[in-house]
Structure 1
């Protein structure tokens, strides 16, 4: 017996890793691990500094968007959304700055919350967690770059 298609079958499928852009941060391409085990999304950030500007909490930080490249640096300054205690995969808790910024995955643009943390020793400079992809994509854990291969292969540096 045939069943009508579920709403989930209409969602685009992404791989376990994809190239994304963060246009408001000036990041034209960063390889992101799609991590359904992580609630929140995170990006490798260093020299993180919070400050006040015209009565608004702000955060300034630097990013090395390319893995194994510490020369190419993007500096961003955006409103601080929150500071939260986040537990990493090793069970360690850390207070992190949280921002909201649009993410672009193959032309789809939507806002996500992003925590700022040092991911220098991790395999990916960015994690796209389940809150960011919820109700937008299905994940094929055995494939890579299903959406980003068409358009984006990292920044032109």
Structure 2
């Protein structure tokens, strides 16, 4: 298994999203992506969702489509349970790519637009919480405490 730091840049290649700053969070079961749901529709008998991912620092909005696989009650760090839409799409961290279930949520008040939870990490990675960017090419690995 490979080692990840407490933050990494990740990729969702089927959605056209690359270099997304993500917090690696073993306390969260499900991964989460900051997104605004725009539309739900059916295509070839499958349920889809169209959503927007905003990158405010560079004023970019990426519109994505994915198969909508489920609705789940997700309990946030403040103890609130929200009903969230779940998609399943390839997730790449470093050289490792696998399919991950990701909830779509409003993370606008969070520092990272994506959170990678323990279900995605299982069988792929171990986490070194004292380091950052261990699987992020072009970023120098950082040793030390979280800011």
TM-score normalized with structure 2 length: 0.89
Please report the RMSD computed on the Cα atoms of aligned residues, expressed in angstroms: 1.7
Choose between structure 1 and 2: higher strand proportion.
2
Partner of 1:132: 120
- Asked if the contact 1:34/1:127 (under 8 Å) is kept, the reply is yes
Asked whether 1:24 is paired with 2:8, we answer no
- Asked if the contact 1:14/1:144 (under 8 Å) is kept, the reply is yes
Q: How many residues align?
A: 140
For structure 2, the residue ranges without an aligned partner over 5 or more in a row are 141-147
> What is the DSSP-based 3-state SS (H/G/I as helix, E as strand, rest coil) of the residue aligned with 1:49?
strand
Bigger Cα Rg: 1
Partner of 2:135: 147
Question: Would you identify which runs of 4 or more consecutive aligned residues in structure 1 move more than 6 Å?
Answer: none
Q: Within 5 Å, give how 1:42-121 maps onto structure 2.
A: 42-64=32-54, 66=55, 68-69=56-57, 71-121=59-109
Instruction: Tell me how far apart the structure 2 counterparts of residues 63 and 112 of structure 1 sit (CA, whole Å).
Output: 17
**Deviation of 1:151 (Å):** 5.0
- Asked if the contact 2:6/2:24 (under 8 Å) is kept, the reply is yes
Asked whether 1:36 is paired with 2:19, we answer no
- Asked if the contact 1:106/1:152 (under 8 Å) is kept, the reply is no
Instruction: Tell me how far apart the structure 1 counterparts of residues 27 and 106 of structure 2 sit (CA, whole Å).
Output: 19
For structure 1, the residue ranges without an aligned partner over 5 or more in a row are 1-10
